[in-house]
Amino acid sequence: MKHYDYSELAVPGVRELMPYTPGKPISELEREYGVSDSIKLASNENPLGASPKALAAIAGELDDLWLYPDANGFELKQALAGRHDVDPACITLGNGSNDVLVFLAQVFLQPGLEAVFSEYCFAVYPIATQMVGATARVAPALPRDHAMPLGHDLRALYEMVSPETRLVFVANPNNPTGTWLDGQRLKDFVGSLPPHVICVVDEAYSEYADGDRRGDASTWLDEFPNLVVTRTFSKAYGLAGLRIGYALSNPGIADLLNRVRPAFNVNSLALTAARAALDDHEFITRSRTVNAEGLEVLRSGLEAMGVGVIPSAANFVLAEFGVSGGVLNEKLLRQGVIVRPVGNYGLDNYLRITVGTAAQNERVLAALRQVLES
């Protein structure tokens, strides 16, 4: 079909928008490169698969697929409320936490208003900000030689806040760096923000991180009415394909988020799976153990090759190669190994590698060794 250009008709925020670049799916790699037996360590998925309790629960849900899901997610919200010791009115469910990040932008931003985030932050923050025509105020990251290289600089973020600021996005641990923030310092930061600024603490990797070190913002909601904490079932719970995440906040904020939320944004399988996964403590414990071991294998293996590794409290490492990550990535793809080039984040000489199973970690290290020697 002839392709017409409608960009002149699009609202300005959308006209300039660059779509999110996802990790390459295995099926696409195998179709394009004619390779087989590929592995994907590109999207921070759980290499152990989905929570077995979630899988079992979904099976019982199939007979009811013809019914619309519970638009208010009653049972899941009850369980989450119990887990976080909050009222269900504090919860907003999303089609992945990406969904609630977009709701936040829709509710609190518009042209003339600003969102603050760090230089190397999750790509969805700038996309959501731009989509609604708001202005991004980007704080420089911590320097490469800092103890948390390329991580969030809370002082720099604070300095970006203006009377027009409505949202500050902070991820802890952060993606794509893996770095984390000291809990007390982050808490002081949230407390220092003026009341017209809402602080979004994105805890997508919280199940992997050591809570004592990085703090747990979900326990600070009573103290800070302008705090929003986002969580997801995509990472440690292994449910990325179902798309479910949530925000915890003061009910006054949740009420606004739920006004823009499409009524049936979370499907019935996702609601059921998430409810069951929440109680799958054994799976989370095993995931944490496998991840901790794998992180160490990747870190030491990469460092043995002379590759710089950024400290990580998540389920991936950001590795610095001193040569183009895009070129390395292309060579890895030919070996059936998918990792994540991060040139779109301004990190040209880096690759982000998700922790896999023991066998997958050995395979990516072997492939990298070969590529770096050739």
Ligand X SMILES: *Cc1c(COP(=O)(O)O)cnc(C)c1O
285, 349 contact by CB (below 8 A): no
For residues 201 and 337, which CB has a smaller minimum distance to ligand X in the complex?
Answer: 201
38, 338 contact by CB (below 8 A): yes
- Whole-angstrom distance, CA of residue 299 vs CA of residue 305: 10
User: Contact positions toward ligand X, by CB under 6 A?
Assistant: 44, 96-98, 122, 171, 175, 202, 204, 232, 234-235, 240, 245
Q: Would you call 256 exposed, middle or buried from its count of C-beta atoms within 10 A (0-12, 13-18, 19+)?
A: middle
Nearest residue to the partner ligand X, using Cβ: 96
- Whole-angstrom distance, CA of residue 104 vs CA of residue 230: 11
Start-to-end CA span in the chain (Å): 44
CB 234, min distance to ligand X, A: 3
CB 184, min distance to ligand X, A: 21
For residues 20 and 74, which CB has a smaller minimum distance to ligand X in the complex?
Answer: 20
- Whole-angstrom distance, CA of residue 55 vs CA of residue 76: 16
For residues 313 and 371, which CB has a smaller minimum distance to ligand X in the complex?
Answer: 313
- Which tokens sit at 297? 């294998």
CB 240, min distance to ligand X, A: 6
CB 326, min distance to ligand X, A: 21
Cα–Cα distances in Å, from 317 out to 237, 264, 307?
A: 19, 35, 11
For residues 172 and 335, which CB has a smaller minimum distance to ligand X in the complex?
Answer: 172
CB 258, min distance to ligand X, A: 18
For residues 314 and 337, which CB has a smaller minimum distance to ligand X in the complex?
Answer: 314
For residues 174 and 360, which CB has a smaller minimum distance to ligand X in the complex?
Answer: 174
For residues 347 and 371, which CB has a smaller minimum distance to ligand X in the complex?
Answer: 347
CB 102, min distance to ligand X, A: 10
- Whole-angstrom distance, CA of residue 276 vs CA of residue 274: 5
CB 330, min distance to ligand X, A: 24
- Whole-angstrom distance, CA of residue 205 vs CA of residue 111: 31
Q: How many CB atoms lie within 10 A of CB 125?
A: 25
Token look-up 């913002």 returns 217
Sequence-ordered strand ranges (E) for the chain: 39-40, 91-94, 114-118, 135-139, 165-171, 198-202, 227-232, 245-249, 308-309, 316-320, 337-338, 340-342, 347-354
CB 92, min distance to ligand X, A: 13
For residues 342 and 367, which CB has a smaller minimum distance to ligand X in the complex?
Answer: 342
